[in-house]
Amino acid sequence: MPQNHDARPFRIGTHSGSFHADDALGVAILHQLHPLASVSRTRDAEVWQTCDALVDVGGVYEVESHRFDHHQKGFSERRANGTPYAGAGLVWKTYGKDYVASCMPALSAIQREAVAADVDAKLIQFADAVDSGIDVPGPNAFGLAGIVSSFNAPWVATDSNEDQRFLDASRLAGTVLRNLVLSICAEQLAATLVERAIQEANGKGGRILLLDTPRVPYDRYVCELAPDALFVVYPSASGKQYQVRVIPEVLGQFKARADLPAGWAGLQDEELSAVTGVADAVFCHNGRFIAGAKTREGAWALAEKAVAAYLPESGIQA
């Protein structure tokens, strides 16, 4: 990531006047890496020379000197899909993996690279496209580029503090970016946990997956990677019980590969315990897609009995 070796704070330079999503995001990316950085919005080339990094201004694209402009004659940087790079994309191309690491240090280098690429595909490239004169589907006011643009003062505004308006817009863009990065990082970590659970399940027949972390979004990975799995056991968000949940036949649809037994539907506590033989059973939803027990062992026992009811040949005792 860019460094300065003086005692003074890192200095980020960008242009004054009207601003757009690409410069707002570019500055936000650098601010994440340098939280104490100052921002100079100017057209004064002498001021630019004092800056540690320039975004969307200066007429130079040079990673070594942290110059990220795309307006100069001869600039031709393009993504593989043909979308031109602008200020945000050039900064992200260089420092995206560092940004991801600052948000989620636990990710591996491969995961950081995957997250950075996904963020570019889902957000950064669209800011660059708008700044390059490319139409992006959807109403302008609804997209990030339009929202950032709305921070520019209209001609009737009595408040014309452009620098403050830019900082507000950049903070908003940075919040959107950070939330997206964290969301995609969470998907990467979830994939790792689910893949590990699938490997462990395959050693035990492959029908039940155990996740010891609450609220892990598992459906996508289980549907893709565990075709034989029927139920997932995991702790509830409250931490007061473990739950057994069905796995959908098709991601996003309600129909399950296997429902919980019909005789459990709507039962709670002692009634469910009597039917299942699981002493700490708590409930089974009337829709037969989720049940719970007070302990992991109890939930696992419910899942085993559900497998036995659905697949008598499994050899598990119901």
Instruction: Kindly tell me if the per-residue pLDDT of 8 is higher than 70.
Output: yes
> CA–CA separation, 58 vs 39, rounded Å?
15
Query: Looking at per-residue confidence, does 315 or 82 come out higher?
Result: 82
Q: Does a structural domain hold residue 194? A: no
0.75 exceeded by the pTM?
Answer: yes
> CA–CA separation, 249 vs 238, rounded Å?
28
Tokens of 86: 């602008």
pLDDT in the model for residue 316: 64
Verify that 120 and 227 share a domain, yes or no: no
Verify that 281 and 169 share a domain, yes or no: no
User: Count of domains in the chain?
Assistant: 2
Verify that 246 and 293 share a domain, yes or no: yes
- Taking each continuous run of H as one helix and of E as one strand, the counts in the chain are 10, 10
* Residue 117 burial class via C-beta count within 10 angstroms: exposed 0-12, middle 13-18, buried 19 and up: middle
Place of tokens 């593989």: 80
Q: Does a structural domain hold residue 245? A: yes
Q: Does a structural domain hold residue 195? A: no
Verify that 208 and 257 share a domain, yes or no: yes
* pLDDT confidence bin for 276, thresholds 50/70/90: very high
Full domain range(s) for residue 219: 203-314
Phi, psi of 229 (to 5 degrees): -70, 145
Instruction: Kindly tell me if the per-residue pLDDT of 7 is higher than 90.
Output: no
pLDDT in the model for residue 142: 83
Verify that 208 and 153 share a domain, yes or no: no
pLDDT single digits (tens) 70-108: 999 999 999 999 999 999 999 999 999 999 999 999 999
Q: CATH number, domain at 286?
A: 3.10.310
Could you give the 3-state DSSP secondary structure of residue 206?
coil
